[in-house]
Homo-oligomer: A and B are copies of this chain.
Amino acid sequence: MAGQQAVERAVTSRRERVNEAIDEDLPLAEPERLYEASRYLLQAGGKRLRPTVLLLAAESLADVSPLGADYRSFPAVDGEVDVMRAAVSVEIIQSFTLIHDDIMDDDDVRRGVPAVHREFDLSTAILAGDTLYSKAFENMLETGAPAERSVRALSELATTCTEICEGQSLDIDFEARAAVTPDEYLRMVELKTAVLYAAAASIPAVILGHDDAVEPLHSYGLDIGRAFQIQDDLLDLTTPTETLGKQRGSDLVEGKQTLITVHARNQGVDVDNLVDADSVEAVTETEIDAALDELETAGSIEFARERARGLVRSGKNHLNALPDNEASDLLASVADYLIEREY
């Protein structure tokens, strides 16, 4: 299998192309301020993991060498399809959800820059998200796939968006609830985070006409998307503050439910009092270390790691439905990368 370096190269080289495509497929239009706000977060950065998964899945299905075919006129089972449009669509959805989530969570910073509702204002941020929402659908309609397959891709996209809203709603509900089970938590993560990975992985199979691969790739996406979120929860506790770009342990301070705290609470840990500080500014590294020790003793860190590893194993198994080639190898390595990454 390809190593972590190969994955990082694969992500980096695709990111450049995705960034160019976003600029082309989501052009600055009138009213300018609305489109500036809509493009602001997309231009602030982002790893482009979901578009990368989408493009790699397309390359594996078409059995072409990585970066060996033009994404704009990509070989389908019958003719050519602009798979880049689909990749842009998925990244636009991701950006729309971040803009609206930051309003709901009252977060000030995203990707190292002010959140859209801080850089602009509340109304502009709501509207920027709403504009991206329809732009994602407009782009997904421009792949040039036959109508029957476009309809299925659109349907997948619409269902995915509904589920993301349901997941975000559950996430907010959970903050006010004392007891959440690991299964409830993982269901929330599936909806809020994993379904967009599932859409990214399976939509190329839909639009390129590889019907047999749709379900396996969807399952692969659901698995690695959940693993990705668990790893995010782990990194919040274990990555040094300077590498993380925000205070380590902020989830604990803010009382956010994670698979780790959900498990710890079930083990009898008094999660709400793991740290005394009631703000991210006030918490000390020593406090976080003590909390981490307690979570490790309760087995919660290992529980989360093992669940993430299990999901990655399961996700990679679904890739057996793909041709054995360099791109499917990279998709397996992306799965590993998601739980090996350190930020």
Q: Is the CB of B147 within 8 A of A161?
A: no
Q: Is the CB of B130 within 8 A of A154?
A: no
Which residue of B is nearest A160, CB measured?
B134
Which residue of B is nearest A100, CB measured?
B126
Q: Is the CB of A158 within 8 A of B141?
A: yes
Asked if A107 is at the interface of the complex by the 8 Å CB criterion, the answer is: no
Asked if A173 is at the interface of the complex by the 8 Å CB criterion, the answer is: yes
On whether A170 and B133 interact (CB within 8 A), knowing A138-B162, A150-B147, A158-B138, the answer reads: no
Asked if A47 is at the interface of the complex by the 8 Å CB criterion, the answer is: no
Which residue of B is nearest A141, CB measured?
B155
Asked if A238 is at the interface of the complex by the 8 Å CB criterion, the answer is: no
The interface centre, meaning the residue of A29, A100, A133, A148 with most chain B CB atoms within 10 A of its CB, is A133
Per-residue contact bits, chain A 108-151, to B (CB 8 Å; 1 contact, 0 not): 00000000000000111011011101110110010000111011
Asked if A298 is at the interface of the complex by the 8 Å CB criterion, the answer is: no
- Min Cβ gap A175→B in Å is 10
Q: Is the CB of B126 within 8 A of A126?
A: yes
Asked if A178 is at the interface of the complex by the 8 Å CB criterion, the answer is: no
Q: Give every chain B residue within 8 A of A122 (Cβ-Cβ).
A: 103-104
Asked if A159 is at the interface of the complex by the 8 Å CB criterion, the answer is: yes
Size of the A side of the interface (Cβ < 8 Å), in residues, is 41
The interface centre, meaning the residue of A29, A127, A148, A150 with most chain B CB atoms within 10 A of its CB, is A127
- CA gap between A158 and B137 in the complex, in Å: 6
Q: Give every chain B residue within 8 A of A129 (Cβ-Cβ).
A: 130
Q: Is the CB of A30 within 8 A of B165?
A: no
Q: Give every chain B residue within 8 A of A138 (Cβ-Cβ).
A: 155, 158-159, 162
- Min Cβ gap A51→B in Å is 20
On whether A169 and B126 interact (CB within 8 A), knowing A133-B133, A141-B154, A161-B134, the answer reads: no
User: A: which residues have CB within 8 A of B?
Assistant: 29-31, 33-34, 100, 103-104, 122-124, 126-127, 129-131, 133-135, 137-138, 141, 146-148, 150-151, 154-155, 157-159, 161-162, 165-166, 168-170, 172-173
Apart from A133-B161, A141-B158, what 20 extra A-B contacts exist at CB < 8 Å? A31-B166, A34-B165, A103-B122, A103-B126, A104-B123, A104-B127, A123-B172, A130-B161, A131-B162, A133-B133, A134-B158, A134-B161, A134-B162, A135-B158, A135-B162, A138-B158, A138-B159, A141-B155, A147-B151, A150-B151
